[in-house]
Amino acid sequence: MANNKSEQQSGNAPGLERNKDNPDFSATEIFQSIKGLNLNSYATRKSIAQGMLDLALLTANASQLKYILTVGETHQFYHFLLVLIIVSISLQIFQALLIVVLAVVFDINKVEEQKRSDIVNNALIAFTVISVVVNVIISAFDMKSQTDVLKQS
């Protein structure tokens, strides 16, 4: 109890207590504090944060899809953008499934599950990169034509 109070007062992380004579942390102290870190909890929080960002991107893609369907084939790049938006939404759905698998199915604190979760995580990263590239291409083919922008001015 007294140890917790001194840690809270000094502002140090739990498990790390600074020596008054030597203000630096030793490597052993740092490794001891990392040992207590629950990696599965961190991975779950990371997955939730990534899911929230994916939700924002999915919302943007839904808006782009609505616009391109509203404008119809009069848009210069209608078919190209329609395919890219559908590919992007499909990738995001697949990423969401992988995130659920990482967050719920695997426990990275168990050594036997770490290799499989690492493989799924690497696949998730690859699909994320592909999704980013697809969305950059969608953005490059501006959803509104220049005449629409000039009319609003």
Q: Choose from 7-11, 15-19, 42-46, 57-61 the range with maximum mean pLDDT.
A: 57-61
Asked if residue 18 belongs to a domain, the reply is no
- Give the model confidence (pLDDT) of 79-93 as tens digits: 999 999 999 999 999
- Give the model confidence (pLDDT) of 101-117 as tens digits: 877 887 777 888 888 88
What's residue 5's pLDDT? 45
Q: Mean pLDDT over residues 90-99, rounded? A: 89
Asked if residue 68 belongs to a domain, the reply is yes
The count of domains in the chain is 1
What's residue 11's pLDDT? 46
H helical segments located in 20-110? 27-35, 39-71, 78-100
Asked if residue 3 belongs to a domain, the reply is no
Asked if residue 6 belongs to a domain, the reply is no
What range defines the domain where residue 35 resides?
29-150
As a whole number of angstroms, the distance between CA 64 and CA 144 comes to 10
Task: Check whether 100 has a pLDDT greater than 60.
Answer: yes
As a whole number of angstroms, the distance between CA 49 and CA 43 comes to 10
As a whole number of angstroms, the distance between CA 28 and CA 30 comes to 5
Asked if residue 9 belongs to a domain, the reply is no
Torsion of CA 129, 130, 132, 136, to 10 degrees: 140
As a whole number of angstroms, the distance between CA 107 and CA 44 comes to 10
